[in-house]
Amino acid sequence: MIWRYLDGFGPATAQDFGQFTLQRQAEIGPALEAMADRLTILEGPNGEKMFDVPGGLIPAADAPAPARLLGMWDSILLAYRDRSRIVSDDYRAHVIRRNGDVLPTVLVDGHVCGVWRPTDSGIEVSAFRSLPERDWRDLAQEAGRLGDLIDSRDPLTYRRYAGWWDDLPRAERRTIGQSATV
């Protein structure tokens, strides 16, 4: 299980693995020790020990991250104990609800900057901060790539989140993409 987790989410800490799998650290530590000769061990940004599979892809720190529309409960928001790598503490409570729901999120430059939902007229994005037009264009392209998948879904699936939607912080809200179903 550790190998598969690291293959998908590495590099990661033992605590990250525990968060994702709900395994206890008392079990994880010995398992990682037993695998140490087969794993790549790195130093994390705060000096923590991070593990990865050999040859795991690690992008350069200055590599551009494309704009993305992530689905509900996307694993990138669930796979790590320290979620501040992708979502700031200011936005976390809006994206990851107390009941465990994780709303569909908007990523720009690899960080959560808003949420999205399908509507009859396209994909509605509520950005928590102002975004430059370049980012809106990139998000519209991403919405276009999701069109076939989103168009086949009933927008009412997300109706239980309507009350939360109105209470979200927002600097800007736009409908992007075009829905084939009206």
Examine the domain organization and report whether 80 and 160 are in the same domain.
yes
Q: For the chain, what is the domain count? A: 2
Span 129-149, average pLDDT = 90
Q: Note the pLDDT of residue 27.
A: 93
With 70 as the cut, is the pLDDT of residue 181 above it?
A: no
Sign of the CA dihedral 107, 109, 87, 57?
positive
Higher pLDDT, 54 or 146: 54
Examine the domain organization and report whether 166 and 80 are in the same domain.
yes
Examine the domain organization and report whether 47 and 81 are in the same domain.
no
Q: Note the pLDDT of residue 139.
A: 95
Encoded amino acid at 66, one letter: P
Q: Looking at residue 34, which CATH number applies to its domain? A: 1.10.10
Examine the domain organization and report whether 34 and 85 are in the same domain.
no
With 60 as the cut, is the pLDDT of residue 182 above it?
A: no
Examine the domain organization and report whether 77 and 139 are in the same domain.
yes
Q: Note the pLDDT of residue 67.
A: 93
Q: Note the pLDDT of residue 141.
A: 92
Higher pLDDT, 79 or 10: 10
Q: Note the pLDDT of residue 156.
A: 67
Look at residue 181 and tell me if it is in a domain.
no
Examine the domain organization and report whether 123 and 151 are in the same domain.
yes
Examine the domain organization and report whether 86 and 159 are in the same domain.
yes
Span 95-122, average pLDDT = 88
Span 68-75, average pLDDT = 88
For the ranges 45-59, 121-135, 159-173, the lowest mean pLDDT is seen at 159-173
Domain, as residue range, for 157: 68-176
Q: Note the pLDDT of residue 81.
A: 78
Using CB atoms within 10 A of its CB, is residue 3 exposed (0-12), middle (13-18) or buried (19+)?
middle
Question: Model pTM?
Answer: 0.78
Q: Note the pLDDT of residue 169.
A: 82
Q: Note the pLDDT of residue 180.
A: 43
Task: Output phi, psi for 37, to 5 deg.
Answer: -75, -15
